[in-house]
């Protein structure tokens, strides 16, 4: 089973100039890598315009290794 993992980071936040990163995953399981990557591509296409408008990037990754969920 595969899952989509994501990391979003916000740079230079607040008076301390901190970088804040958040990890997450899509709460859906996929049978194989192709199915997972197809869903990932659809999510990216759906979010692309809004993320560009906000000058924000999210890193997505499909993985079957849930012990190392770093995108």
Judge whether residue 70 has pLDDT over 60.
no
State the number of CA atoms in the 13 A half-sphere of 60 facing the CB.
18
Question: Which of the two residues, 1 and 14, has the higher pLDDT score?
Answer: 1
Contact 56, 7 (CB under 8 A): no
Question: Which of the two residues, 29 and 70, has the higher pLDDT score?
Answer: 29
- Mean pLDDT over all residues of the chain? 90
Phi, psi of 27 (to 5 degrees): -80, 50
Residue 68: which H helix or E strand, with range?
Answer: none
Mean pLDDT of all residues in 15-44: 94
Q: Which of 37, 38, 57 has its CA nearest to residue 47? A: 57
Mean pLDDT of all residues in 52-69: 84
Residue 26 CA to chain centroid, in angstroms?
8
pLDDT in tens, 10-20: 888 888 888 88
């Amino acid at each position: 089973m595969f899952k989509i993992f994501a990391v979003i980071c916000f740079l230079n936040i607040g008076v301390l100039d901190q970088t804040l990163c958040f990890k997450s995953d899509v709460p859906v399981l996929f049978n194989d890598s192709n199915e997972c990557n197809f869903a990932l591509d659809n999510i990216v296409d759906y979010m692309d315009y809004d993320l560009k408008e906000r000058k924000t990037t999210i890193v997505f990754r499909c993985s079957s290794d849930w012990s190392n969920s770093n995108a």
